Amino acid sequence: MEHHGKNHPKIVVAVIPARYASVRLPGKMLLPIHGRPLILWTVEQVRQARTVSRVIVATDDPRIFDVVSENGCESMMTSSDHRSGTDRVAEVAECIPEASIIVNVQGDEPLIAPATIDAAVDALVSDEAADMSTTSEPIQNIDEILNGNVVKVVVGENANAIYFSRSPIPFPRDASLRHNGDANEAVLSEPGLLSIFRKHTGLYVYRREYLLRFSKLPQTKLEQTEMLEQLRAIEDGAKIKVVEAACRSIGVDTQEDLDRVRQILKAVVIENIS
């Protein structure tokens, strides 16, 4: 398989795509969490990763740009025409030195663990044949398996991604046969099946050269069917390492998510004050 560039392990740039528009929670990047906008909490978490040497917030909104810049963090204005956060990250990557590693951290992840970022970076650095790395978590309840909004990943013995899907994968054939061929019923009736499923989480680490290649590829039918852009990389033959997240995070998509994050970070604020 063609390799898409080598990495220098000391050049690791984290790019945080941050749009102002959000259907379910408008302006969420600037919503306050104990006196600080959400986006700044995310930046602070990423800055603590030992492998990351530079953090850039990529946005298409001057309000986010100003808040980030005024708080001493690096921000870059990008096109408002990008179809995804990955494309926004790729625009920034064009300005980053060749052979760098690019970490794509979603701006609405104020609880992202620095250790998770480090694990994903280390996985890519240690495998010269890999083009990307990403993260996963154990599935903790049956509802997540059956929820199409929760993306599942199948990982091979070599820790490479085989497939991503919104469906329950891998298919538990024998268990399904015990329940008239109904996989959903099998999962509901046999909680022990939880251990075979993995939840994909949205942290990505790319070799810069592969990210630029990937962002120029046309969408595939599989990607359009599942609405998962990582399937485009799978079809392109990319080798994607999958590592386990150090701990669970919460992406802020709804008011309920925001309330949960505020409650969790309240303890951090109290500790810093005392």
pLDDT tens digits, 77-93? 999 999 899 999 999 99
Residue 7: pLDDT band by 50, 70, 90 thresholds? very low
Question: What's residue 68's pLDDT?
Answer: 98
In a domain, 141, yes or no: no
Provide the domain limits for residue 259: 12-136+200-273
Q: What is the CATH number of the domain that holds 250?
A: 3.90.550.10
Nearest in space to 237 (alpha carbons), one of 90, 84, 130? 130
In a domain, 160, yes or no: no
Q: Which residue has the tokens 């538990």?
A: 172
Instruction: Provide the residue type at 83 as one letter.
Output: R
pTM: 0.91
In a domain, 36, yes or no: yes
Is the confidence at residue 184, as pLDDT, over 90? no
Average pLDDT, the chain: 92
Total domain count, the chain: 1
- Percent of the chain scored above 70 by pLDDT? 94
Buried b (16+ CB within 10 A) or exposed e, 122-152: bbbbeeeebbbbbbbbebeebebbeeeebbb
Question: What's residue 192's pLDDT?
Answer: 86
Helix H or strand E encompassing 165:
strand 161-165
Q: Quick one: DSSP state of residue 193?
A: G
